[in-house]
Structure 1
């Protein structure tokens, strides 16, 4: 997949060659990313990022997920995609992260909008969800800006190192998105 978001931002399917830059961004943003992403401490070496990419490619081959690198001004700045695609229920779950130095420029809102369009127009899905930790206000603002509906709270849904966090589920239906 290659998908143009706008003149400065694009998404492209993750490739094995991306492992090094992905590891570098994680390493530079480790403390920042660790606040909300439970896998950061498990990404200690380049080999860990290589294994991550390998897993992404396998799940994509099985059409169970789609992981893309976010390219902004010709530079990889993060990851976004569908952590899970359920073709029988016509649903997908968007996941995303951005290196700390690339935050605050509206990149992720544009990327989430493009992924939602892609889900409904290219994949012919009926529903897209975004799940976000209750306290992660920066990430929660993305589905809220895009008009996703807050559907509920999954209590203690995710383990973050030494505690559970509740997740807010945001949903968008294809019929709502077209409006």
Structure 2
């Protein structure tokens, strides 16, 4: 099982089916907050939907194509983060994340994204890490900006978000840039 300790209060743990109830409760509690920027809230309506997501995530992990984890803060599940996709041919990982309502302001996601970037470069020996986020999602954009990722441009109408398309900003950092820090 994958567990990655970030500090004494914060760690990442591979999703497990036994996490489904807690993860669904967090999703449900944060539903309106998360819905502003995440397109999957309307199709996650019960714990069985969360179980299905976990099973798909575990399949991706077993095939070495992705790594989705729960974020544990002081022992409680507070969100999800990981590599939505790992492109081994191009040695690139694509980080995705969300944090439950009420857990912002503790530096959690910045530490998580930094840990995932370190892991991608030092353990997986990848060459690039990308984070893509909606142009208007200032909280999410602040994460790669804080970590000195490079704004590589905008993908127009990259995602259908309930009733409209949103543009995405692509942030990237190369192993050689990261290791210089």
The match for 1:37 is 38
| Superposed structure 1 runs of 4+ greater than 2 Å apart | none
Instruction: Map Cα deviations across residues 22-69 of structure 1 (whole Å, 9 max, x no partner).
Output: 100000000000000000111000100000000000111111100011
Q: CA deviation at 1:7?
A: 1.2
5 Å-filtered alignment, 1:23-62, equals 23-62=24-63
Per the normalisation by structure 2, the TM-score is 0.98
How far 1:155 sits from its partner (Å)? 0.2
- The answer on 1:100 being equivalent to 2:66 is no
- Is the partner of 2:102 in helix, strand or coil? helix
Q: CA RMSD in A?
A: 0.5
Q: Specify every segment of 5 or more residues in structure 1 that has no aligned partner in the other structure, as ranges.
A: none
- For residues 53 and 2 of structure 1, the distance between their equivalents in structure 2, rounded to whole angstroms, comes to 16
Partner Cα separation in structure 1 for residue 44 and residue 120 of structure 2? 29
C-alpha deviation, 1:121, in angstroms: 0.6
Secondary structure of the residue aligned to 1:37 is coil
What TM-score, normalized to structure 1? 0.99
Structure 2 residue runs of 5 or longer lacking an equivalent are: none
Partner of 1:167: 168
User: Which residue of structure 2 lines up, in the alignment, with residue 121 of structure 1?
Assistant: 122
Count residues in correspondence: 179
